[in-house]
Chains A and B, each alone.
Chain A
Amino acid sequence: ETGVTQTPRHLVMGMTNKKSLKCEQHLGHNAMYWYKQSAKKPLELMFVYSLEERVENNSVPSRFSPECPNSSHLFLHLHTLQPEDSALYLCASSQDYRRNTEAFFGQGTRLTVV
């Protein structure tokens, strides 16, 4: 149990669908992250939230929309995705955005866009 829970674990969606990924952390951390892992590519940081404010947005297409209602929850809203968006989406949290600490990852959501 890593303390970071992601739902759903698997998601198949059409290109016209709207879906949301959910992440919840029970570690009392202040920072939360969305990462994308595509085959044969490094983990790509998508979004960073610190104390519920977005602090980084790494040129992610607008069809991905994050939401952080509180420091324990993070959502990734998906709409009009493309097949190339199929990947493993990982949520992570860390104690403090500005300090060098390890991030704790959830198990990920395997997304397939058809």
Chain B
Amino acid sequence: DQQVKQNSPSLSVQEGRISILNCDYTNSMFDYFLWYKKYPAEGPTFLISISSIKDKNEDGRFTVFLNKSAKHLSLHIVPSQPGDSAVYFCAASFSGSEKLVFGKGMKLTVNP
């Protein structure tokens, strides 16, 4: 049973527009959420995180929104740039465990 779901395998947007990547989770014990970005032939790199005590965290062009009642989080990238083209993984964990549960990933393509 997948506890972290990224239901859309891919997304294509134009440069300068907003990219919205979605993630749903089923385990209500999760209280910390992370987004990772992965380029081909490289390991995932940490992008941004959010604790369950917040509903929004912003870092430059990247904003993560958390809706606990819906068990849903999203990553907004604005404006999108071609260098943002990568696979994005959503991950979740809960206090007392460093075990990150990952989604399958979503491929973002930003077209010039």
Q: Which residues of A contact B (CB under 8 A)?
A: 2, 4, 6, 9, 31, 33, 40-43, 45, 48, 50, 56, 90-92, 94, 96-108
Q: What interface size band does chain B fall in? A: 20 to 34
Of listed B44, B51, B100, residue having the most chain A CB within 10 A: B44
B43 touches A31 (CB 8 A): no
Kindly list chain A residues whose C-beta atoms are within 8 Å of the C-beta of B42. 107-108
> Given the complex of chains A and B, what is the CA–CA distance between A56 and B31 in angstroms?
20
Contacts of B101 in A (CB 8 A): 42
A-B contact count (CB 8 A): 64
Say whether B104 contacts A41, CB under 8 Å: yes
Contact indicator A99/B98 (Cβ below 8 Å) = yes
20 contacts between A and B (CB under 8 A): A4-B43, A9-B41, A42-B4, A42-B104, A43-B44, A43-B89, A43-B102, A92-B43, A98-B98, A100-B32, A100-B51, A100-B95, A102-B34, A102-B49, A103-B46, A104-B45, A105-B36, A105-B45, A107-B41, A108-B42
| Shortest Cβ distance from A98 into B: residue | B96
Complex A-B, nearest 10 residue pairs according to Cβ-Cβ distance, in ascending order: A105-B43, A43-B102, A100-B32, A102-B46, A97-B98, A42-B102, A105-B44, A107-B43, A42-B104, A106-B43
Q: Give the shortest distance, in Å, between A6 (CB) and chain B (any CB).
A: 8
Question: Which B residues are CB-close (under 8 A) to A42?
Answer: 2, 4, 101-105
B-chain residues with CB within 8 Å of residue A99 when the two chains form the complex: 98
By a CB distance below 8 angstroms, the chain A residues around B96 are 98
| B63-112 CB contacts (< 8 Å) to partner A | 89, 91, 93, 95-105
